Structure formats: structure tokens, C-alpha cells
Amino acid sequence: MLIGILNRKGGCGKSTTAVHLAYWLAQRKHSVMVIDSDGQTSSSQWLTKLNLPSLVINDPDDLFDQIALYSGQYEAVIVDSPAVLGETAKAVLLSVDLALVPVQPSNLDLLATKDIVRLVNQAQKIRKGPPKAAMFLSRASKGTVLLREAQEVLSQTEGLTLLKQVIYQRQVIADAPGQSATVFNMSGDAAFQAAREYEQLFEEALSYGKA
């Protein structure tokens, strides 16, 4: 499966999601390649420490070609898209089977989703269906009004499904890159809870993508 992780807002957990998804799939014996098209190269640097394969590609045309090339070599290709909705993001949406959009439950982040929704809808019209697209709430605080409001707003978005699983704000997630780890191989209750959330998110997302 070809999976793109996109949003034009930085700090929403895009690279963190890409790395954790790659690690989770690799632990289940799937062959995985991550293509890092984000100029900060956060995911590729992190993946190197985890001994997982990654490739940095910034040119939109090269990205389009390489996604197709690696799709025949790996069971899963994950693209970490830049926090800019330009030609690179378009190349991703014109190539992948599933687009995942992490969204923080804040007013500014909810406003910013309009741009990615528009781009996804355009790609779906061009491709006459694909990619399947899903949003999920990331870095959320439990029991807040903002979280409930975000769930209400995003659940009504045309062309994108809001996944039920939420990734909550936890320090252990922020600490993972510095420890050259993921929450899946860190100790403690917080890591265990975060790992459960990511696992449930990925199972839900992949089930939706294959449906």
C-alpha cells in the first residue's frame, strides 16, 4: 500500500506518525520504505537511528516517479510530505492509495485543514476516486471542549473520513526521537498507552484504506 502523510501545519505529528507507522509495520514483518520529502528530513534522520530504510526526495517529479518505482519493491511505501501544500503534496496525492492527515484540535489547525481538504478533493476528482483519505486528531488533550468541537467539525468534512482513534499529547512521544526509539520499544505506562493508541490508529487506518 502507498500511504501519504500530509498537512500544511507543522508540529501536527506528521513525521512522528510516519516513523511509528514504519516501525509498526516492520515489526509485523512487512517490507517498508519511507520517502522523506519534508525539507527538515526529521523522519529520515530518525529512521536511520532505527535501522529502517528511508530516502530523501524533494523534487516533485522525482517523487512521483520514485513512489511508483518503490511500490513494486516494498509492501508499504510511506511518504512524509512537507508542511507546504505545493507541487510535492500534489505529487503525493496523485500517487498514493491512502492519505493520512494528522490534525491538532486547535482553531488555527482546524482552519488550516480547509487547504488540505481542497487539495485532496481535487486529486480525487482527477483520479476519479483515489486516494482514500482520512484525518485523525493528534496531540490532543483528553476531555477538552476543543477536542469535542474538533471531532464535530472534522466529522462533516467531504471526501475525508475522521478516524475514531485519537493520539493524545504525551511527553513520551516527544522524547522518542531523542532516545532513538519509538513508543513501541520504550518502557513505562505512558509509552504503553501511546503504543496502544498508535496500534489502534494504524489498524483502523489500514482497514479503511483497504476497504
CATH number, position 28: 3.40.50.300
Rounded to an integer, the average pLDDT of 32-58 is 94
Torsion sign across C-alpha atoms 70, 11, 170, 209? negative
CA distances from 58 to 42, 55, 70, 82 (A): 13, 10, 16, 9
**Number of domains comprising the chain:** 1
Task: Provide the residue range defining the domain that includes 25.
Answer: 2-210
pLDDT in tens, 116-166: 999 999 999 999 999 999 999 999 999 899 999 999 999 998 889 999 999
